[in-house]
Amino acid sequence: MRFWSSLRRRDAPAAWAFLAPSLIGFALFYLIPFAMSVFDSFLAGPDGGHFAGLANYRELLASGSFRKAAANTFFFSAASVPLNLALSLTLALLLNRGSYLRRWLRTAYVLPLVVPAASVVLIWQILLDWNGALNAWLAWFGFDRLDWMKSASARYAVIAFYLWKNVGYNIILFLAGLQQIPQDYYETARIEGAGRLRQFGSVTLVYLTSTTFFVVVVSIMNSFKVFRETYLIGGEYPHDSIYMLQHYMNNMFLSLDLQKLTAGATLMAACFLLIVLGLFALERRYRRFMD
């Protein structure tokens, strides 16, 4: 009701006029192509073939390469997102304590976001090569060398790269949320005998609910977009442990198998939508519980 009543306001035409270019662009380049790809996923051929129902999806789910890519993507998101959340929140709490170098550290954490990915990948290739810096350090400490990107260790290298790339942005978000919490709440909690752990659970986490929810959603989105860095490091056909859904869809695009490509993209979008809706439901329940 509030939305429709706002449409009747005097400034509604001006607001829609300013929003129209963005809405039109979003529809032309996102909504309409996505709707067309969903429709194509139910066709039997790329040249306007007959309606095939769920045949493309059944064939997709029966594909071993797709199941492997989906399992690797799920493992990567399930491992990297909680690590990203915990590491960024911990560092934000440390920086929020009034460090003299806080401003410079903020800049250092944000730098990975603005540095071009291609140039950063060159540095990581030097680090992770068989004769690279990381193996040289391992050998100096008496450990065996690892072929990082051609063994099961590749997934951990990609997780480390993801954390290095995304932790800084989340730190800035958590710092902004921490600085909005009134210090009076902490003083009241201390007067009532609450320790640091109780203050963290009853004050900090409660007032960081919205920020945490946003950080989790952004982290999940970024975990689905790790293909670019993985592709630059491992190539079109990397080690099986880092063969992601984006690799599968890229290979389907190169082979012009558009039906599997659109079906895979639709399933990926549906899974992400379900995850976001589940997070919304958890946030609402948590807010009701705290109220």
Q: Which fold has domain 64-290?
A: MetI-like fold (1.10.3720)
More confident call, 96 vs 289: 96
Q: What share of the chain is helix, strand, coil (3-state, %, to 5)?
A: 80, 0, 20
Name which of 102-106, 133-137, 155-159, 212-216 the model is least confident about.
Answer: 102-106
Closest CA to 276 of 210, 217, 222, 219: 217
User: The pTM is what?
Assistant: 0.79
- Please tell me whether residue 43 adopts helix, strand or coil conformation: strand
Domain ranges for the chain, please list them. 64-290
Closest CA to 163 of 101, 272, 84: 84
Flag whether pLDDT at 83 surpasses 90: yes
Sign of CA dihedral 121, 126, 130, 135: negative
- 157: confidence class by pLDDT, cuts 50, 70, 90: confident
pLDDT at 246: 83
